[in-house]
Amino acid sequence: MNSKNKEEKPSNFIRNVINEDLSSGKHETIKTRFPPEPNGYLHIGHAKSICLNFITARDYNGQCNLRFDDTNPAKEDIEYVHSIKKDIQWLGFDWNGEVKFSSSYFDKFYQCAEELISKGLAYVCFLSADETREYRGTLKQPGQNSPDRDTSIKDNLTFFRKMKSGRFKEGECVLRAKINMSSSFMCMRDPTLYRIRFETHHQTNDDWCIYPMYDFAHCLSDAIEGVTHSICTLEFQDNRRIYDWTLENLDDFNTSSRPHQYEFSRLNLEYATTSKRKLKLLVDNNYVNSWNDPRMPTISGLRRRGYTAASIRDFSERIGVSKVDSLTDIAILESSIRDDLNNTAPRTMAVINPVKLIIENYPKGKVESLIAPIHPQNEKMGSRKIFFSREIYIDKEDFIEVAPNNKYKRLAINKEVRLRNAYVVKATHFDSDNDGNIKTVYCNYDSDTLGKNPSDGRKVKGVIHYVESSKAINAEFRIYDRLFLASNPAKSDDLSSSINPDSLEIKNGFVEPSLASAKAEMAYQFEREGYFCRDSESKELIFNKTVGLRDKWNQ
């Protein structure tokens, strides 16, 4: 990837903050981090955050850490750790040093908790979950102090150590920060710092039975790693108060170079969901086949569908960074991949709805091999061998008995078209079955039209694609539509009513022989049909449709 100079980039409010922090001398270099919870696969929204964190660090010659925010063992799995690393590398980013885990700081977090207790800033609370909710109050009503709020420092230390050594049951007590039960920010009403969970953790096994909450672990992890700019999504705006409170009250971290949190708006994509919980529901309820189902807006799903890393980075740049929540038009993502593949995808021919075309004046038994460019606008990509004979397949959609008007550019009786990379043909008659389905179309070809216009000057406007029948290879085509019917399915929790029942259409047809060795996940242009890539999870020749040639939604 080319490293772009920061001056060339459109600025955003995060770059403005960084520029100020560097020029005031607050920081000499910058460090960011991408902090996924290993509780699902990464999606296109995460890609926005990954690009923002990694590209910002790169542009300022700083560093970006990959840190797993693994403080909730009940929902986490090592499978997700592996997939997340793979997806980030595939997107083209290298994290700074080793992969980091919040769980490797559990000892330090524990010391910090004891420091807060010792300063009278945290206490062990024995209220039940229901009582805690009641005591918290509402946005309109201040909360009430827990009866345990004034427990002595000594007793709190004893209780907390007992929590750590497994002497209390799950849910029996929690460690809370002592801040302000009447704060207008609910998250500041004595938030929980630690809870008891008798769970085996994928990194620390059974070493711990108390686990820190996000609000406590996140700011400490940032500070331990020397992160300067902690970039997260807007829903954490209020939590910035607890982020600052925690660091300001700990001796090791209350420094002028401590990290600060900055929030940007998350990506919401039309006709998709970027909620990991809902994506997991789609998988668990078999609405899709897996996390990397090509219909999923996951990075692995997009990759399997033929999206390139460059197109996803380009999309992230196009949508920009702001503080306003919005719903992003899916056409922007589609145009990013279309623009990339238009330049890079090799051209090939595939017939998705085949019908036989017999060229009656072509010699029986002869198979001609022809040369076709791999990319008509880029000679450097070279050429490929295609075939031609008396029997070929064309698409059903490309033949009609009677042309509806003069503008019709495909094949019809007594009308001529050019077969892509081959000859001009004129349809003469056709066979159909009792239901009127066209079975075979017959035509004659003009042998003097290979690579040139008819010598008598007649104009042939239409071009259709084909595959020669004796060398044609059977293939399955998987054509995808939107996974959701509603543009904003996030609004509803009932997936069954918003899911598109026709999001996958399977067709069987033919591809040209050069595609027998097609590489998985590398998109080709099937001329006149769209971009397709070979499926990576199947041994057979199956092609996933990446995107059409044009934006059919905005036509």
The rounded distance, in Å, linking the Cα atoms of 209 and 198 is 5
3-state secondary structure string across 477-542: EEEECCCECCCCHHHCCCHHHHECCCCEEEEEEEECHHHHHCCECCEEEECCCEEEEECCCCCCCE
Cβ of residue 336: shortest distance to ligand ATP, in angstroms? 16
422 closest CA partner among 458, 460, 379, 456:
460
Q: Which of residues 33-62 bind ligand ATP (CB under 6 A)?
A: 35-37, 39, 45-46, 48-49
Residue tagged active-site, from 33, 178, 195, 276: 276
Residue 239 in contact with residue 233, Cβ under 8 Å? no
Contact 500, 487 (CB under 8 A): no
Least Å distance, CB 82 to ligand ATP, is 15
Q: Is 12 an interacting residue with respect to ligand ATP (CB under 6 A)?
A: no
To the nearest whole angstrom, how small is the minimum distance from the Cβ of residue 140 to ligand ATP?
27
Rank residues 35 and 73 by Cβ distance to ligand ATP and give the closer one. 35
CA 323 and chain centroid, separation: 21
Task: Indicate the SS3 state at residue 157.
Answer: helix
For the sheet containing 416-419, what is the strand order? 463-464, 416-419, 424-432, 438-446, 354-359, 391-395, 467-468
CB 323 to ligand ATP: min, Å: 12
276 as an active site residue: the answer is yes
- When the beta carbons of 50 and 515 are compared against ligand ATP, the nearer one is 50
- Minimum CB separation from ligand ATP for residue 276, in Å? 5
Figure out which of the listed residues 158, 233, 444, 536 binds ligand ATP, where binding follows CB under 6 A. Answer: 233
Q: Which residues pair with 196 in a beta bridge?
A: 210
Residue 33 CA to residue 53 CA, distance in Å, equals: 6
Q: Are strands 416-419 and 523-526 parallel, antiparallel or unpaired?
A: unpaired
Q: Which of 15, 161, 266, 409 is catalytic?
A: 266
- Which lies closer to ligand ATP via its Cβ, residue 68 or residue 531? 68
Taking the least distance from each CB to ligand ATP, the nearer of 48 and 178 is: 48
113/299 with CB nearer ligand ATP: 299
Given a contact cutoff of 8 angstroms between Cβ atoms, the answer to whether 362 and 73 are in contact is no
Between 264 and 445, name the residue whose CB sits nearer to ligand ATP.
264
Query: Binding string to ligand ATP for residues 250 to 289, with x set by CB under 6 A, is what?
Result: ----------------xx------x-x-------------
Eight-class DSSP state of 10: P
Binding mask 504-543 for ligand ATP (x = CB under 6 A): ----------------------------------------
| C-alpha to C-alpha distances, 41 to 64, 268, 437, 504, 554, nearest whole angstrom | 20, 16, 45, 21, 30
Name the residue nearer to ligand ATP (CB basis): 65 or 151: 65
29-37, 298-306, 313-321, 545-553 -> range binding ligand ATP (CB under 6 A): 29-37
Out of 6, 15, 26, 37, which one is annotated catalytic?
37
Q: How far is CA 220 from the centre of its chain?
A: 29
For the bound state, the minimum distance from the C-beta of residue 349 to ligand ATP, rounded and expressed in Å, comes to 38
DSSP for 194-261 reads: EEE----BTTTBTS-SEEE-HHHHHHHHHHHHT-SEEEEEGGGTTTHHHHHHHHHTSTTT-STT--EE
Q: Work out how close the CB of 14 gets to ligand ATP at its nearest, in angstroms, rounded to a whole number.
A: 13
Residues acting as catalytic residues: 37, 266, 276
Please report, as ranges, the residues that interact with ligand ATP according to CB under 6 A. 35-37, 39, 45-46, 48-49, 232-233, 266-267, 274, 276
